[in-house]
Amino acid sequence: MTDATLQYAGQHYSKVVDAINEDLEKSGALFAAENIEHSYPHCWRCKSPIIYRATEQWFASVDAMKDTAVASCEDIKWIPEWGKDRMIAMIIERSDWCISRQRHWGLPIPVFYCGECDKPVCTPESIEAVASLFEQKGSNIWYEMSAAEILPQGFTCPHCGGGAEKFTTGQDSLDCWFDSGSTHAAVLRGQFENLQFPADIYLEGGDQYRGWFQSSMLTSIAVNGVAPYKRIITNGWTLDGEGKAMHKSLGNAIAPEEVIKDYGADILRLWVSSTDYRSDVRLTKDMLKQLSESYLKIRNTARFILGNLDGFDPDNPVALADMQELDRWAMSRLNRLIEFVSAAYERYEYHTIYHGIHNFCTVDMSNFYLDIIKDRLYCDETESVSRRAAQTAIYVILNALVRMLTPILAFTSEEIWAAMPHGTGDDIDSVLYNPMPQSVNEYKLSPGDEARWDKLLRLRTDVNKALELARADKIIGKPLDAEITLYVSDSAAFLRDIDGEDLKTLFIVSKVNITEGGGSGYEGTEFPGVTVSVAQSNDPKCPRCWAHDANVGQDHPELCPRCARAVG
């Protein structure tokens, strides 16, 4: 208790109650005494009870800047969009700002008190003296020097004319939100040559509409007449597996260094990018383990491509017109991904970038394109156009992928960049020194070709299902052991114009026959109108490419004609 409490001064607030009750009882003024249990405010961090005190405070009026602040909200890009309405509502509801705090840390409020009239003194002259001293010796000097030593020589009280030798320094600290809300003046106004005012982005949690976002807005409006930022991006909270916000005080937080130790920094970066940061997100170690498997899908796609670029010269690619139709399809899918990722980066939607790239690597590449072109890469002649065309396509794909991944998987991208070949114009020192990929109009397929490929992909799904059933029934071993017959109706008439050799490559089987009308076999669900019949091929098997071919032994005792040409 303070000196103002007379005989109770110096006693602890939790024990003085008994002394007060005892004195009231002795004086006969005590009517009744009863213990009441009730909830009591506690500090969320240290869990200690909070004492409320009535003390004098410093306030700043915001009425004069409200209208300007609200108008400024219209020119700001809000992500998510509800941020604008939230900010406007909070500004309108506010009339003043308590800028003082009673604590032993923080920036002091540079106010002096006159020893003659007890009035507070804060003038441009006194402020300039304090600012100059802080710049030279730091803010701690406020507590190390007397008021007379801080103020200019000859300074007097503007209220009563009293001399500075009787002044005392104020002991209130500045509200930390006023302090942090003024950072735009320190950071963006001439301190760093490459930074400009206003800032492109302010990024923080949803609680900062009452805190940093708003204090920055008000201080900048007061001084500059405009907001200090062009965009506000709001992130949610990280929750544990039970949906509780992570806090060190609760002991439920997963420290970044733990994740890095177990999984590596890129897994942590990938988790951040895979979440919709605008909402609260959960994090558990099981989720990180599952995400590490997704990471391997992306990494292994790059690894496969790197393993098949031996001898490829990026400055001597195969022209798009000389590529096979499948290669041009892959380039078109890459083009679509580039457009998707570029737009997502502009919107700061990193989770859609992660899902888009992961889907591309898993579905378009690993499960389809890369699976099919293995045959060309492994078995065609080294310098054949078909093999070099495949290398050209996968190089273009990897070159674009690594650049798009760099903001997310920084370390993995640098590893890939260091291992891959480079053409003239690339900065080989770091992928970070190279621009993001741009879409290429020539890569786009016509609407008719897009529709045709969509049908082929759906048909391939049915064929794969038929092959899976045939393997389960011991009809075939591997897909290359199979000879399939497609019984087509009018809805699949487009297949009549496709060469069987192209279809066997697409389905990774040894032979494809197309027959008009109905037949027995697997009835397609993805592409109705086609029945898939699977049989074991009776042709001899080439030991090099593993395909069954009636011409095995024609140009070589054991190999098919293509493999015979490849080995010379």
Assigned token pair, 381: 């002649």
Burial of 543 (0-12, 13-18, 19+ CB in 10 A): exposed
pLDDT in tens, 216-234: 999 999 999 999 999 999 9
What was the pLDDT predicted at 505? 93
Burial of 56 (0-12, 13-18, 19+ CB in 10 A): exposed
Which residues of the chain register pLDDT less than 50?
none
For residue 146, the 8-state DSSP code is: -
d(CA 409, CA 324): 32
What was the pLDDT predicted at 397? 97
262 contacts: CB under 8 Å, gap ≥ 6? 285, 288
pLDDT in tens, 390-443: 999 999 999 999 999 999 999 999 999 999 999 999 999 999 999 999 999 999
210 contacts: CB under 8 Å, gap ≥ 6? 90
Helix axes 410-419, 385-405, angle to 10 degrees: 150
What was the pLDDT predicted at 257? 87
- Give one DSSP letter per residue of 498-528, joined into a string: S-HHHHHHHHTSSEEEEEES--SSEEPSSST
Q: Which of 509, 491, 550 shows the shortest CA–CA distance to 500?
A: 509
What is the maximum span of the chain, computed from C-alpha positions, in angstroms?
123
Q: Where is 412: in which H helix or E strand? A: helix 410-419
d(CA 61, CA 98): 9
Residues 91 and 69: beta-carbon distance below 8 Å: yes
What was the pLDDT predicted at 1? 63
